[in-house]
Amino acid sequence: MSNKNSISYHRVGDYLIPNLIISPEEANITLGKWGMMHKSYLEKHKKALFNSLLIQGKLYQHCADIENQAKDMFDALVEQMKEAEGVTEKLKEHNQWEWIQKINNIQQRASEIVCNELIYT
């Protein structure tokens, strides 16, 4: 059964359920950490946008775009913070524990910025 918008349906009891099929392009997209976080956020907090992207077959491409932007932003932020705070390979050679603490702190702050500016918007 189908309607004029070319969405096909199947009957379950008294209900018509749309046959949603992921396009081949969407099926080949693999999401990483950032893309999955954004998808989960959309599903829980932006349901209308999530459903619209899903029905149009653009959800995974949208999340993959956010994934790429987030990776680039995270990498750039980490490099900028390392430079600003003097976290160098020389520090790593001389005091590994301090270097680890500083890198972990930088990565955590960069992750928070990426989440606030890209993932949860």
- What's the pLDDT score for residue 9? 85
Residue 13 has pLDDT above 80, yes or no: yes
d(CA 35, CA 114): 12
pTM of the model: 0.79
3-state secondary structure of 10: strand
Over the stretch 14-40, which tens digit does the pLDDT of each residue have? 998 877 777 677 778 889 999 999 999
Find all residues with CB under 8 Å of 29, minimum gap 6, and list them. Answer: 60, 61, 63, 64
Over the stretch 58-116, which tens digit does the pLDDT of each residue have? 999 999 999 999 999 999 999 999 999 999 999 999 999 999 999 999 999 999 999 99
Mean pLDDT over each residue of the chain, to the nearest integer: 91
Helices 47-56 and 33-45, packing angle to 10 deg: 120
